[in-house]
């Protein structure tokens, strides 16, 4: 499915973010947030199937065509939430909805829980809560992160001789994606370098988290969501295979739909994108 897409830049006080703009100017305002190491092309199949929405599909900081954070800055989930809020401010959107996949869904839940007065609706795809850690694990977790930061200067990104090689590597990356999905992500995610191509993403994105929310913290954000929320779960996705999520979804005030497909079901093929759209269109149409 093809539709007119506008490339835009958003100059926040601390960073410039890139985004795709979909839909009519008078459509319902929606900010779309992709997953870890993905980019705005994550929504290239789904967004055209959501008529009536004005969708700003961001490249998160450090991803796609967006700038990398300054030296010494971090890529913590709440940093992304602050970026999204500043994007809404720049767009003049007092109230807006969030469409999030994977890490983007997690950031959406955190922002909606923290700022319920700003978020109209939550449309989530195979993502809900971050990986958690308890207090007794915190010292070891911080030590792991600090050691990785010290070692980062000596590491180099992989360079692929041809785009096809990079596409194949992405197919077997986090969550696994179809070839067509990997090609779409590569369109926006690769850059030419000496010897071939490498990913634009900031190398710091692969560092371990210095601190994780406890399960109680993560649950508190999900329970603080006040707006209507729908979660589409992929039957072969990451949440389906995670025992820590067993029984969690049923205890939250959100509508859950289970669809066949893997973690990137909205991007892997046209049928998956349409199935997700068939869930979200009635959800956004409710006054």
Note whether 34 and 42 are within 8 A (CB). Answer: yes
By DSSP bridging, strand 6-11 and strand 16-22 are: antiparallel
Note whether 104 and 35 are within 8 A (CB). Answer: yes
Note whether 286 and 228 are within 8 A (CB). Answer: yes
Under DSSP, the state recorded for 142 is: H
HSE value, Cβ hemisphere, 13 Å, CA-based, for 229: 28
- DSSP class per residue in 145-212: HHHHHHHHTT-----BSSHHHHHHHHHTSTT---HHHHHHHHHHHEEEETTEEEE-S-GGGGSPPS--
Report which of 78, 24, 76 is spatially closest to residue 205, judged by C-alpha positions.
Answer: 76
In whole angstroms, give the CA distance from residue 1 to residue 33: 20
Residues in the chain: 287
| DSSP-based three-state secondary structure for 57 | strand
Report which of 173, 189, 180, 170 is spatially closest to residue 272, judged by C-alpha positions.
Answer: 180
Query: CA separation (Å) from 246 to 130, 215, 219, 223, 261?
Result: 14, 13, 13, 16, 19
Report which of 238, 229, 230 is spatially closest to residue 265, judged by C-alpha positions.
Answer: 238
Q: Which residues carry out catalysis?
A: 102
| DSSP-based three-state secondary structure for 131 | coil
In whole angstroms, give the CA distance from residue 262 to residue 5: 26
């Amino acid at each position: 499915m093809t539709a007119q897409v506008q490339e835009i830049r958003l100059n926040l006080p601390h960073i410039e973010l890139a985004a795709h703009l979909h839909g009519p100017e008078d459509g319902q305002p929606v900010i779309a947030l992709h997953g870890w190491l993905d980019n705005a092309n994550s929504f290239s199949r789904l967004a055209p199937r959501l008529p009536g929405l004005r969708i700003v599909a961001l490249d998160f900081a450090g991803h796609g065509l967006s700038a990398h954070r300054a030296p010494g800055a971090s890529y913590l989930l709440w940093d992304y939430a602050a970026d999204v809020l500043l994007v809404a401010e720049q767009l003049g959107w007092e109230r807006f909805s969030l469409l999030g996949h994977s890490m983007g869904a997690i950031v959406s839940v955190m922002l909606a829980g923290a700022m319920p007065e700003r978020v109209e609706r939550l449309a989530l795809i195979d993502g809900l809560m971050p990986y958690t850690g308890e207090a007794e694990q915190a010292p070891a977790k911080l030590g792991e992160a600090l050691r990785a930061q010290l070692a980062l200067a000596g590491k180099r990104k992989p360079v692929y001789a041809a785009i096809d090689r990079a596409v194949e590597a992405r197919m077997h990356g986090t969550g696994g994606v179809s070839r067509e999905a990997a090609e779409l992500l590569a369109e926006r995610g690769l850059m030419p370098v000496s010897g071939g191509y490498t990913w634009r993403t900031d190398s710091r994105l692969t560092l371990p988290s210095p601190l994780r929310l406890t399960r109680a913290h993560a649950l508190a954000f999900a329970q603080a969501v006040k707006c209507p929320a729908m979660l589409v779960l992929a039957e072969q996705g990451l949440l389906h295979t995670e025992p820590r999520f067993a029984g969690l979804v049923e205890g939250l005030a959100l509508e859950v739909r289970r669809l066949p497909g893997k973690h990137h079901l909205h991007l892997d093929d046209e049928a998956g994108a349409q199935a997700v759209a068939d869930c979200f269109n009635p959800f956004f149409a409710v006054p």
